């Protein structure tokens, strides 16, 4: 792509507004900056389009949003046998900069194409968008969000009629249609035209009420005698869309002692109280910890800006607050849901749990003990959503719970994306249930290690920004795939799963077998001494992610093995 030529097209095109042109003039003599913005187009990744806010083809802005929406509109029109135009598209957005603007730009393109639009009156969490697509019988949904990315990012997620993110066979076609569209060619209704159009409907309370009731239906122990309903917990929405629905569902579930972090209660597009609005980062909980100590709370729950991920901290015996990893929360919820459903006689005989190939192996042992089938997919909740849809069509299994190690959880089938609102309710329920038995979630985690084995995991993300960063990530993947050693330090490579080729082979590239799933740039190394690691480029952030998974006689030794392996991997990659 001729980035200088593309840059000049934007500067000289009458369709480009003056503010955008002024922004581009600030980089007029900066070749590197122009290349960063114009050497490629944003493309659909694991979570749709996601990028830095700004002018350019490799940025997120109203022109990129219009073009993407036109591609979706063309796909809907192509499949008119589904009455896609009449069924319409639901649009939601979070608290980020320009989220509301981008939402109405998308609505403007859809309306200009004669497609009905349902747009939320203000910010809503991602899982409610997924639910709304199903609830309203829409053909698709659009959510303007960059999830837990830093404040200078925004994004564009697309959902299909089942409420799940676009599966690859559809997103690939939509991407082809986007590629065929000129950047400034989509017709778009302005705000005045939208307000006067019969195609556009503003939605809010009715969908909210239906969503909350759907989430509440996932609760397991609702009887007051089973839970300590006086249990105290602190909640922080980290300035995002989870604030109202999480507080409402906790109230609906009977929790009256919920204390919300006041400094993080209201929307703030700059996320001014945190370094990054990511519940995976313990630094995001500094204010929550202070409030928890003041209120003598046993639990802290935090959701990310679009309300699909949730982080948890638990008070220990020293009155300190300890963060649970996404894997640990997933394990706790898996055990709690299966054990309680079995106890109540509501666990289906064909029950299933879905996780990912890079999530903890401890889930396998728990599912075995309940005679529940565990399925593993690639990272990205759209793959879990695809599996749920498959079960609904063939009736072979009933979905009970699913999770990713990256703090995403879904109980029930009301939504088809990770749901921090439902997860927050179940985490609070679980904590109050065990508190009634004088145990914390840390105590239960220890019990599970004793029962199922000492497992440990660690996920390391290495950020590589910009075009140069993409090249560095590609070089690391190439080195691991094509310059593979026989061993990493003291750990022999017993097998390698290359999910890009769909093959499992030895370190000498001798084929062992085909893999059940393929076509994703993931390498998974099976090593000696009960330890594995996987690596993949992130589909939503400028990162390469390493996943280390170990089982040993003790958890402490498993952690030692992980640290030792990490040093060997970093040495091989020159990090």
Active-site amino acid positions: 147
Query: What is the C-alpha to C-alpha distance for residues 491 and 144, in angstroms, rounded to an integer?
Result: 44
CA dist 162 → 47, 133, 142 (Å): 16, 7, 13
Query: What is the C-alpha to C-alpha distance for residues 236 and 133, in angstroms, rounded to an integer?
Result: 27
Q: Are 405 and 459 in contact (CB under 8 A)?
A: yes
Q: Which DSSP state fits 378?
A: -
Helices marked H in 410-524 = 420-435, 441-452, 466-482
Q: Which residues neighbour 360 within 8 Å (Cβ) at sequence distance 6 or greater?
A: 327, 330, 331, 405, 455, 457, 549
Report angle CA 208, 214, 217 to the nearest 5 degrees: 140
DSSP for 400-438, written as a single string:
EEEEETTTEEEESSS-SS--HHHHHHHHHHHHHHHHTTT
Q: Which DSSP state fits 137?
A: T
Query: What is the C-alpha to C-alpha distance for residues 263 and 188, in angstroms, rounded to an integer?
Result: 38
Instruction: Tell me the three state secondary structure of residue 50.
Output: strand
Phi, psi of 62 (to 5 degrees): -65, -30
Pair of tokens at residue 146: 């960059």
Three-state secondary structure readout of 545-566: EEEEEEEECCHHHHHHHHHHHH
Q: Which residues neighbour 552 within 8 Å (Cβ) at sequence distance 6 or greater?
A: 454, 456, 529, 530, 558, 561
Pair of tokens at residue 571: 């040495």
Burial class (CB in 10 A: 0-12, 13-18, 19+), 339: middle
Q: Which residues neighbour 557 within 8 Å (Cβ) at sequence distance 6 or greater?
A: 454
Nearest to 199 by CA among 122, 118, 141: 118
């Amino acid at each position: 792509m001729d980035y200088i030529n593309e840059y000049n097209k934007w500067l000289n095109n009458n369709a480009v507004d003056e503010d955008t042109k002024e922004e581009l003039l600030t980089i007029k003599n900066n070749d590197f900056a122009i290349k960063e913005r114009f050497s490629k187009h944003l493309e659909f990744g694991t979570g749709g389009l996601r990028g830095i806010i700004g002018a350019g083809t490799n940025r997120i802005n109203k022109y990129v949003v219009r073009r993407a929406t036109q591609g979706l509109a063309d796909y809907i029109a192509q499949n008119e046998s589904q009455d896609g135009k009449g069924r319409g598209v639901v649009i939601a957005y979070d608290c980020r900069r320009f989220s509301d603007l981008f939402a109405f730009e998308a609505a403007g393109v859809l309306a200009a194409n004669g497609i009905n639009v349902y747009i939320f009156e203000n910010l809503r969490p991602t899982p409610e968008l997924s639910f709304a697509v199903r609830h309203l019988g829409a053909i698709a949904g659009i959510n303007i969000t960059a999830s837990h990315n830093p404040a200078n990012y925004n994004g564009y997620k697309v959902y299909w009629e089942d409420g799940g993110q676009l599966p690859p066979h559809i997103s690939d076609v939509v991407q082809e249609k986007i590629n065929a569209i000129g950047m400034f060619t989509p017709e778009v209704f302005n705000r005045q035209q939208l307000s006067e159009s019969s195609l556009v409907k503003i939605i809010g309370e009715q969908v909210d009420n239906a969503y909350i009731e759907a989430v509440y239906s996932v609760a397991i122990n609702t009887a007051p005698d089973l839970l300590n309903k006086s249990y105290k917990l602190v909640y922080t929405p980290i300035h995002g869309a989870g604030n109202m629905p999480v507080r409402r569902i906790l109230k609906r579930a009977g929790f009256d002692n919920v204390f919300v972090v006041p400094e993080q209660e209201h929307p703030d597009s700059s996320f001014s109280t945190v370094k990054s609005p990511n519940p995976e980062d313990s630094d995001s909980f500094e204010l929550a910890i202070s409030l928890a100590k003041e209120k003598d709370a046993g639990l802290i729950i935090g959701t990310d800006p679009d309300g699909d991920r949730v982080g948890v901290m638990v008070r220990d015996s020293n009155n300190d607050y300890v963060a649970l990893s996404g894997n640990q929360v997933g394990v706790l919820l898996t055990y709690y849901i299966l054990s309680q459903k079995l106890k109540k006689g509501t666990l289906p005989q064909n029950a299933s749990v879905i996780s990912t190939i890079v999530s903890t192996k401890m889930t396998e042992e728990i599912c075995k003990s309940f005679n529940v089938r565990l399925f593993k997919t690639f990272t990205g909740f759209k793959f879990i959503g695809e599996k749920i849809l498959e079960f609904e069509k063939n009736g072979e299994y009933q979905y009970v719970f699913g999770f990713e190690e990256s703090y995403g959880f879904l109980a029930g089938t009301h939504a088809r994306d990770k749901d921090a609102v439902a997860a927050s309710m179940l985490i609070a329920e679980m904590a109050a249930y065990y508190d009634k038995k004088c145990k914390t979630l840390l105590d239960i985690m220890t019990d599970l290690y004793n029962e199922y084995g000492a497992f440990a995991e660690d996920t390391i993300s290495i950020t590589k920004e910009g075009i140069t960063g993409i090249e560095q990530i590609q070089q690391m993947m190439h080195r691991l795939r094509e310059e593979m050693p026989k061993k990493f330090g003291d750990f022999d490579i017993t097998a390698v799963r290359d999910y890009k080729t769909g093959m499992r082979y030895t370190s000498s590239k001798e084929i062992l077998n085909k893999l059940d799933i393929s076509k994703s740039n993931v390498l998974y190394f099976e090593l000696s001494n009960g330890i594995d690691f996987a690596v993949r480029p992130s589909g939503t952030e400028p990162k390469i992610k390493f996943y280390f998974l170990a089982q040993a006689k003790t958890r402490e030794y498993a952690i030692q093995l992980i640290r030792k392996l990490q040093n060997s991997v970093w040495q091989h990659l020159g990090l």
